[in-house]
Amino acid sequence: MKKSILLLLIVMFSSIASKAQYDAMFTQYMFNEMYINPGYTGSKDAMAVNLTHRQQWVNFPGRPITTSFTLHGPLANNKMGLGISVLNEQIGKLNRNLLYLNYAYRIKTGEKGHLSFGLMGGIHNQVNKLSELKSTETGDIQISQNTPSIMSPNFGAGIYYYTNKFYAGISVPRMVDDTYLFDATTGDFVKSNQLNASKFHYYFTIGNVFELNDDLKFKPQAMVKMVNNAPLQYDVNVNVLIKNKVWAGVSYRSSADVSALLGLQVTPQFLVNYSYDYALTKIQKYSQGSHEITLGYIFSYKQHKVVTPRYF
């Protein structure tokens, strides 16, 4: 069954043409995929909370600073999942906030597998403080005013298959292109909300855990992202879990970064993880790399007591 589900996901992903819009990026996506795939919602079989903070390209002026918070859990005897996700991102004079409600419906496939279909819907709020920019030319009307602060709806969908030691997913987390267009005739910014398939982000994720012995577990995983007018991007990551206590790993993002990851499984429910990205581009000359920290906690229900760390 696992091979059939994986083949279905790969065929679906391969049939999608490359598409482009701007989306937040995390090195530690593998510890909380709900931001990119609503099918992940409730998959931990207990209420789970995750907080991730990323400081990208430290010391580089206007660098991205991103904070993500998610809370999700199962419903109706694990047949459904419900959750919320919040994200704040600052890039230069741009500040945007995302708030989503996530829902997933799961079908049991065999003794260990679950196939989950997810939907997410929410609102975006974005403000570009263009008036605070310094121009090399005087009288540039495009940066003489800030863009208006307007709430706009958005939604996404995803499919997620998982067992205790394997997962694969495909998703389009944000479908509405909510951008500002400058009207040279009026000198004003106009909000554009369009369901534009040419600007979708498509994600495909896959991972597995191999138990080498009682004290060592090997966890390789990968994520591929497709977006129009941009090269195909992929992340390849390898983590090991030592004595169910220490996570250690390395990651490679195509033509962008290499990363080192180190985490402590404080308890089977509580994880603290840190990653450092070293840029492979010229930007590394002007920054001190990127830092990311993740805190994750799974609440222990009496009927779903957490006795070992969750791998995904």
pLDDT in tens, 163-209: 989 999 999 998 887 665 555 555 555 566 667 777 788 999 999 99
Taking alpha carbons only, the member of 105, 101, 45, 71 closest to residue 311 is: 45
Helices (H), the chain: 2-14
Q: Out of 3.60.10.10, 2.40.160.40, 2.30.29.30, 3.50.30.30, which CATH number does the structure's domain 2-298 have?
A: 2.40.160.40
pLDDT at 150: 72
Do 86 and 117 form a contact (C-beta atoms < 8 A)? no
Do 294 and 271 form a contact (C-beta atoms < 8 A)? yes
- Euclidean distance between the first and the last CA atom of the chain, given in angstroms as a whole number: 20
The rounded distance, in Å, linking the Cα atoms of 211 and 138 is 64
Handedness of CA 32, 34, 39, 43 (dihedral sign): positive
pLDDT in tens, 220-249: 999 999 988 788 899 999 999 999 999 999
Rounded to two decimals, the pTM is 0.84
| Residues 253-274, mean pLDDT to the nearest whole number | 94
Query: At 90, which amino acid appears?
Result: Q
Domain residue spans in the chain? 2-298
Taking alpha carbons only, the member of 205, 223, 130 closest to residue 168 is: 205
